[in-house]
């Protein structure tokens, strides 16, 4: 098994992580801060937007990998992968633009990611048991 589907969504996630990490690095360079956020709200939001993706990507991508290894349908995997990526983009966008406050993009982004986790977890349990 080659895990092409997992490769697609892991690679796109890696690019998103780099984009968000670049924003953090830009703040660090501009504010000359090695650790912490110097009390700057925009900087704090950039750090959390990056960290939030880093926190959710591993479990979601692992669930995609397991589902692919259990021969869960390609269409479902691509659907879940696409929803995951779009949800993470929406969440990061909403979180950043609202400076950590309420945003429908942030809300629907995390709900979309949670939905993907629930669907993949259920599919993996079903495929493993039956």
pLDDT at 1: 79
pTM: 0.94
Rg (CA), the chain: 16
Q: How far apart are CA 130 and CA 125, in angstroms?
A: 8
The answer to whether 5 and 77 have CB atoms below 8 angstroms apart is yes
pLDDT tens, position by position, 18-64: 999 999 999 999 999 999 899 999 999 999 999 999 999 999 999 99
Q: Which fold has domain 4-129?
A: 1.20.120
């Amino acid at each position: 098994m080659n895990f092409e589907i997992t490769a697609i969504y892991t690679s796109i996630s890696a690019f998103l992580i780099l984009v968000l990490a670049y924003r953090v690095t830009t703040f660090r360079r501009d504010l000359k801060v090695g650790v912490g956020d110097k009390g700057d709200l925009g900087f704090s939001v950039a750090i959390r937007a990056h960290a939030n993706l880093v926190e959710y990507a591993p479990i979601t991508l692992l669930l995609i990998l397991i589902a692919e290894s259990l021969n869960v349908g390609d269409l479902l995997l691509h659907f879940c992968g696409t929803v995951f990526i779009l949800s993470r983009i929406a969440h990061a966008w909403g979180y950043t633009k609202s400076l950590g406050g309420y945003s429908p993009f942030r809300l629907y982004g995390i709900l979309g990611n949670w939905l993907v986790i629930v669907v993949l977890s259920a599919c993996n349990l079903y495929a493993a048991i039956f």
